[in-house]
Structure formats: C-alpha cells, structure tokens
Structure 1
Amino acid sequence: MHSDRVLIVDQSAESREVLCALLARSGTASIEASRAAEAVSLAQQLRPQLIVLDADSDPSMDRQATRDLTAAARRTNTPIVLLGKITGAEIAFDPSELLAKPYHYGQLIRRIEGVLEQRRAA
C-alpha cells in the first residue's frame, strides 16, 4: 500500500464520492473540494500527489481560482488530470492529462494510477 493523495475538485458530491471509493480500493487517499477556490488552499496545505479537476462541472467556475490552483500545482510540480469538454484554447494551463467527457470511471482510474505511477518512478 502507498500513501498517495489525490485532490478531487468537482461540484458533484456524487462524482466525488464514487471517485473516492474507487481510489480507496487501491489504497489512494482522497481530498475533496467542490470548487477550485476551495481546492487552492487544500493543495497548498496538503500537497497532494495529483489533482483531478472537473473543469466544466460548474458553469460559473471561477477562472481565476482555476489559474490559482494550477499555479499552486506548478510550484509543487503536482500533475493535473483535467476532465471536461473544453479545448486547449479555452484553458490557461497545460494539464498533465486531459480526459474528455463523457468518460468512464474505469478509464479515469487507470489514468490516475498511470500518472501516480509515473510520479513515483520519477
């Protein structure tokens, strides 16, 4: 078992709950935030090994908070898996991974595990 922590940023409590349960099966701890603004301080304080950001779960998502979150991730070299339908031109950062919607949880878990594995190997 390992001590990876993943910060999940998603407005949907149900999506966060499912993802946390699936990650727990592999021994990965989860930190939850419903908004990017909340996630900024969590990322700085708890330094997760990965951030999963559902960029279009909240139509009124605060773009500045998202920029702040990605800046915090860059400072600590924390990869981000971005979930959504957005294009590269619409985002102000280069995510480690981009997973288009709709996605399946199995696909997302494999992507998360792959990024965490790469991080541990580095």
Structure 2
Amino acid sequence: MNALVLVAEDDPDVARIITGYLDREGLRTVRAENGQIALDLHQQLRPDLIILDVKMPKLDGFEVLADVRRRGDTPVIMVTALDEDLDKLQALRIGADDYIVKPFNPLEVVARVKAVLRRATGRSDSVVIRVGPIEIDPVAYTVAVLAGDTRVRVDLTATEFRILSHMARQPTRVFSRAELIDACLPESDTLERTIDTHASNIRRKLHATGLTALFEGVRGIGYRLTTTS
C-alpha cells in the first residue's frame, strides 16, 4: 500500500495544492485543519509522514511535533514562513526531519516528501537494530540475542516486539507507559498497567537468554533499554 501523508495545514487552498500534487504521485493523503486534529489523526491512522505547518489553530506546529516525537519517530516536514529562521531552528531542534519555506513550489514539496520517506524506510523498515547483544530485524520480525558465536532467538508477541523495537531505536531513553501505549498500541484502550505486563514478559524472555539487566524499570516513570547487560 502506498505511503499515507498527513497534511496539517489550516489554509484550505494550500492544503488542496499539497494534497493534489501528492495524490498525483500515487501517495495517499489526509488533511488536518488544526493541531489537535493532527494529533488525533496521527494516533488513529499512524501516517508514514506528516507535513506540518508551524502556524496552526488549537495547537501550533511545535506543540504537535513535540507530541509526535514523544510517541515515536514518524517523519515530519515542517512548513515555515520565509523570514522565520528561528522557526526552522526550533523545528530541527525538536526533531523535524526537514522543513519547507513558504511560498513554496509544490514540486519541491513532492521531492522533499519522497526523499524523507526513502530515508525513513531505510531507517525504520529495513535496517537491523542492535542494542548491546540484542539484534532486532524489523523486516523478518525477529529478535535474537548474540553471545559470541551463539545466536539465541527470542520469541515475542506482536505487541512485545513493537514495544522492544520502539525502545531500541532510542536506547537509554526512559519511556513512560503512556508513550508506549501511544506508539505501540494506538487503537486500543489499554490501561497503563497492561504495559507493565508486556514489559514483564519482555524482561522474562530476555532473562531466559542470560540478559539480566538490559531491560530496566524506572520507578514512577516507565522503562528503559540500556546498552550493556
């Protein structure tokens, strides 16, 4: 299925131009006219990329970007005004993958979207993730623990795999339970204590391979994946 692009833009004419050009390139699009709707659609639809205007009603682009980054690593292209260099720096500091300056050429938007999607696909969908002795293959959907010449497979459920993969992309960072729910179980009404159950299962399965300290609970906050066992 072609990539889904969420266009968060309150100007209907600008949004229509962007979505029209992306549609012609075979990409799927959905529009959000304010920042709160953008966050709601991000959680519901899990788009492959977001085009995000800085000046948005309800929640501005920076607030939306910060929340998206707390949830995961969805690629984001920010749209900034011509003379607002601080907007560009702020967007990149929070975690934007790229930015486009208004007024823009729609063909440039398409080119930027394709480039960021290519980078994101390479980063998230095909590159094996390694944290210490743990090896995670997002394509084969497998997890293994390496010890010298020995490779021990770890059998995880789909939810456990998503949680471990999500955390492994930012090792040593502490993830709250709410963040893990948003990133790994977006369509469910999961309670935070359910994350504790999944985390306990992941830790138990890693312990069975000899890793006793890699997956840590952080009291009062959530969980962290360290780089040494």
- TM-score tier, shorter chain, comes to 0.7 to 0.9
1:9, 1:39 within 8 Å by CA — same for their partners in 2?
yes
- Give 1:67's match in structure 2, choosing from 63, 67, 77: 63
Q: Residues 27 and 7 from structure 1, CA distance in 2 versus in 1: closer, same or farther, beyond 3 angstroms?
A: same
Question: Which blocks of at least 5 consecutive residues in structure 2 are unaligned?
Answer: 124-229
- Give 2:74's match in structure 1, choosing from 67, 74, 78: 78
Rounded Cα–Cα distance in structure 2 between residues aligned with 1:62 and 1:106: 28
Match of 1:93 in 2: 94
Rounded Cα–Cα distance in structure 2 between residues aligned with 1:75 and 1:62: 16
Match of 1:105 in 2: 106
1:5, 1:48 within 8 Å by CA — same for their partners in 2?
yes
Match of 2:122 in 1: 121
1:73, 1:79 within 8 Å by CA — same for their partners in 2?
no
Deviation of residue 89 (structure 1)?
Answer: 5.6
1:40, 1:72 within 8 Å by CA — same for their partners in 2?
yes
Rounded Cα–Cα distance in structure 2 between residues aligned with 1:61 and 1:89: 22
Cα shift readout 1:33-84 (whole Å, capped 9, x = no counterpart): 011111111001100011001113x4x5634x74245322442310110011
Rounded Cα–Cα distance in structure 2 between residues aligned with 1:93 and 1:101: 20
Match of 2:4 in 1: 5
Alignment identity in percent? Answer: 23
- What secondary structure, in the 3-state scheme, does the structure 1 residue paired with 2:5 have? strand
Q: Residues 119 and 79 from structure 1, CA distance in 2 versus in 1: closer, same or farther, beyond 3 angstroms?
A: same
2:65, 2:76 within 8 Å by CA — same for their partners in 1?
no
Cα shift readout 1:83-112 (whole Å, capped 9, x = no counterpart): 112324655723110112221111111001
* Off by >4 Å, runs of 4+ in structure 1: 88-92
Higher relative contact order (CA 8 A, sep 6+): 1
TM-score normalized with structure 2 length: 0.46
Rounded Cα–Cα distance in structure 2 between residues aligned with 1:7 and 1:80: 9
Rounded Cα–Cα distance in structure 1 between residues aligned with 2:4 and 2:59: 24
RMSD over aligned Cα atoms: 2.2
Question: Which blocks of at least 5 consecutive residues in structure 1 are unaligned?
Answer: none
TM-score normalized with structure 1 length: 0.82
